[in-house]
Chains A and B, each alone.
Chain A
Amino acid sequence: DAGVTQSPTHLIKTRGQQVTLRCSPKSGHDTVSWYQQALGQGPQFIFQYYEEEERQRGNFPDRFSGHQFPNYSSELNVNALLLGDSALYLCASSHRQVNTEAFFGQGTRLTVV
């Protein structure tokens, strides 16, 4: 079992650019959540996808958007990058019907310069 996998592990972008982060959930999981973890802070919930729809959303602007594919994998897109978007982005998967806890990936470290 490969667990939750995220790609890329690191990337550097320039202000104003757009970025796409990817996540493959743990085998058997159908729900994907995304979190932003700024340096020295706890993770903050961005949104959650289930059955290819956004089910819950945290307090993040519309520049943050996502998608879930039929194979349950997910993408996080951030437009018009700001310096403040620099953070570790964590993907977590779970199984809604079984009510399992979230399993986290290793994260993608995004640096905006």
Chain B
Amino acid sequence: AQSVTQLGSHVSVSEGALVLLRCNYSSSVPPYLFWYVQYPNQGLQLLLKYTSAATLVKGINGFEAEFKKSETSFHLTKPSAHMSDAAEYFCAVSYGGATNKLIFGTGTLLAVQP
């Protein structure tokens, strides 16, 4: 079955430090890949997406992610964490089109320490 794995349910970084959130997918079929952010009691906001164009994708709020087919990974990074980055982050995949159903990982809760 197709699945998404997010390593680390909780990640804590200091303000100004590098943020690295990991995501691996399981499929030999090239997927569409997404990172969403969720603030408490809110819906999901798209950070960035990979749809078979450039492998390094830049998103909003200074986040970027690199698609590595050989590693079936799509890790999310940000060079310098800000307090406002504290939220839950979800990696998701879809197959056969960006509008098809999304398969989500279990999420990573990012804490940013002052």
A residues engaging B (CB < 8 A)? 4, 31, 33, 35, 40-45, 48, 56, 58, 90, 92, 94-96, 99-107, 109
Contact = CB atoms under 8 A, between A and B. Distances in A.
Contacts of A43: 44, 90, 102, 104
Contacts, number: 64
A103 B44 CA distance: 8
Interface of B: 4, 32, 34, 36, 41-46, 49, 51, 90, 92, 97-107
A104 B98 contact: no
Contact of B99 (A35, A94, A109): A94
Contacts of B92: 42
A102 B41 CA distance: 19
Contacts of A48: 100-101
A33 B101 contact: yes
Closest 4 CB pairs of A and B: A42-B104, A104-B44, A104-B43, A94-B99
